[in-house]
Amino acid sequence: MTWREIQKDFPILNQRIGEHRLAYLDNAASSQVPQQVVDRLEEYLTREHSNVHRGVHALSQRATESFDQAREKVASFLNAPSSAQCIFTRGTTEGINLVAHGFGRKFLGKGDTIVVSALEHHANIVPWQMLGEERGVSLRVIPMNDRGELLLEELPDLLDDSVKLVCVNHVSNALGTINDVARVVELAHGRDIPVLIDGAQAVPHMKVDVQELGADFYAFSSHKMCGPTGVGVLYAKKKWLDRMNPFLGGGDMILSVTWEGTTFNEAPHKFEAGTPPIMAAIGLGAAIDYLEGIGLDAIGAREAELLAQATERILEVDGVRLYGTAEEKAGVLSFDVEGVHPHDIGTILDSQGVAIRAGHHCAQPVMNRLGIPATARASFAFYNDEEDIDQLIDGVRLVKEIFG
């Protein structure tokens, strides 16, 4: 299969925005869904749709089988020891909130500290701040340098006896930095401190092995990896799942309910109250099949190639400033043009058919650290191509022309 052929799996890309060809470069926000996943969703809706784990009838059995298979696919995708350790959530945000609730409210209290990094998305900051306010837990931040690289040499000094959890993203959504999370785990585990990794921007672009990483918690979203919205995964070590509080209460997460009280089911059901996102989870399973069919290594290499080309070419445009120049980077190009607000860059690019994101990318502390309000962010997927880059660069030149 060539990349050109692979592009044909994404019919949505083959359309015009006004007079222009669509150049979809907002993949870090949500990636596109290949026909193979659309077909699987259609098959589910037209042949299997039903509730899971409840019915004895044929459709419920089909839906249950497909849903359970999706969980197996997730486990094998992450190399998790067991699918019972892979909880379906609504997405990364919910996965992290589940840990803040189920782990944080159970094990953390006054005087304790959570270490986060300077590169975090709000999803890996706000739940900890909320927990902190409620329980008297404070946050400590691993700093970064001007290139957007974490200063991990400072981490050992941050890890004193008060630290009960370390939370870092695997790849920064705002700058694209690939963090050395294996090193974070090594340092934290050296002091018996568990680690949560926000993998939202990593799993679509690289092979992740949770056992090799040793992470205690690993969260991600389906919609950034060619799957549908509405589902994500929280992987956790069994020792925590056994001891953590449930997040939500309701059906499916119990063994028995009487007026005297409730006994909870085991993981993953304990953490999946109510009807789960059945269709989306099955779609995620199909997305995993699709990505593995191409190969995560090939995907990563293709995206690195596109990023290198785009970086070189955008720097040729006078007045462009890049944010995030880490040694190890995923396919994110965060930039601005001197004297132009990133929102204006986004609007002009949109008028040329180029979809990017402009703003603080839900990472305001990153923007504050860099002393800017926002950036324009082009983010690449393996189905992008050189024409997308041409269109991006032409659009940025037009921004320059318009704003002089």
**27, 66, 93, 117: which one contacts ligand C6P (CB under 6 A)?**
93
- Residue 329 in the binding site for ligand C6P (CB under 6 A): no
Handedness of CA 74, 77, 81, 87 (dihedral sign): negative
Stretch in the footprint of ligand C6P (CB under 6 A) among 54-62, 90-98, 278-286, 386-394:
90-98
The stretches of 8-55 forming alpha helices (DSSP H) are 35-43
Stretch in the footprint of ligand C6P (CB under 6 A) among 51-59, 71-79, 101-109, 357-365:
357-365
* Residues 10-49: x where in contact with ligand C6P by CB under 6 A, - otherwise, as a string: ------------------xx--------------------
Of 357, 75, 321, 317, nearest to 218 (Cα)? 75
Decide: 115 and 163 in contact? Cβ < 8 Å: yes
**85, 87, 91, 163: which one contacts ligand C6P (CB under 6 A)?**
91
Of 358, 333, 310, 339, nearest to 399 (Cα)? 339
Nearest approach, Cβ of residue 46 and ligand C6P (Å)? 27
Q: Which residues contact 366 (CB under 8 A, 6 or more apart)?
A: 118, 119, 120, 144, 148, 172, 174, 175, 360
107 phi and psi angles, rounded to 5 deg: -105, -10
Nearest approach, Cβ of residue 287 and ligand C6P (Å)? 14
Nearest approach, Cβ of residue 332 and ligand C6P (Å)? 9
- Residue 117 in the binding site for ligand C6P (CB under 6 A): no
- Residue 227 in the binding site for ligand C6P (CB under 6 A): no
Residue 311 C-alpha from the chain's centroid: 23
Q: Which is nearer to ligand C6P, 63 or 115 (CB)?
A: 115
Q: Which is nearer to ligand C6P, 92 or 375 (CB)?
A: 92
Q: Which is nearer to ligand C6P, 121 or 164 (CB)?
A: 121
Of 271, 227, 231, 345, nearest to 101 (Cα)? 271
Six-digit token string for 127: 């739940």
In angstroms, rounded to a whole number, what is the distance separating the alpha carbons of residues 61 and 59? 5
Residue written as token pair 């056994």: 242
Q: Which residue among the candidates 86, 167, 226, 362 is catalytic per the annotation?
A: 362
- Residue 173 in the binding site for ligand C6P (CB under 6 A): yes
* Residues 269-308: x where in contact with ligand C6P by CB under 6 A, - otherwise, as a string: ----------------------------------------
Of 338, 306, 305, 316, nearest to 393 (Cα)? 316
In angstroms, rounded to a whole number, what is the distance separating the alpha carbons of residues 263 and 174? 42
Nearest approach, Cβ of residue 379 and ligand C6P (Å)? 8
Nearest approach, Cβ of residue 342 and ligand C6P (Å)? 13
Q: What is the dihedral of CA 303, 171, 216, 250, to 10 degrees?
A: -90
Beta strands in 120-270 (DSSP E): 138-142, 163-169, 195-198, 217-221, 232-236, 254-258, 261-264
Site for ligand C6P in 362-391 (CB under 6 A): 362
- Residue 357 in the binding site for ligand C6P (CB under 6 A): yes
Nearest approach, Cβ of residue 173 and ligand C6P (Å)? 3
**31, 64, 85, 92: which one contacts ligand C6P (CB under 6 A)?**
92
Q: Cα 14–15–21 angle (5° rounding)?
A: 95
- Residue 200 in the binding site for ligand C6P (CB under 6 A): yes
- Residue 330 in the binding site for ligand C6P (CB under 6 A): no
Six-digit token string for 338: 């001197």
Half-sphere exposure of 137 (CA within 13 A, CB side): 28
Q: Is 362 a catalytic residue?
A: yes
- Residue 201 in the binding site for ligand C6P (CB under 6 A): yes
Stretch in the footprint of ligand C6P (CB under 6 A) among 193-201, 205-213, 279-287, 292-300:
193-201
- Residue 337 in the binding site for ligand C6P (CB under 6 A): no
Residue 243 C-alpha from the chain's centroid: 26
- Residue 361 in the binding site for ligand C6P (CB under 6 A): yes
Interface ranges with ligand C6P (CB under 6 A): 28-29, 91-93, 121, 123, 169, 173, 198, 200-201, 221, 357, 361-362
Catalytically annotated residues: 362
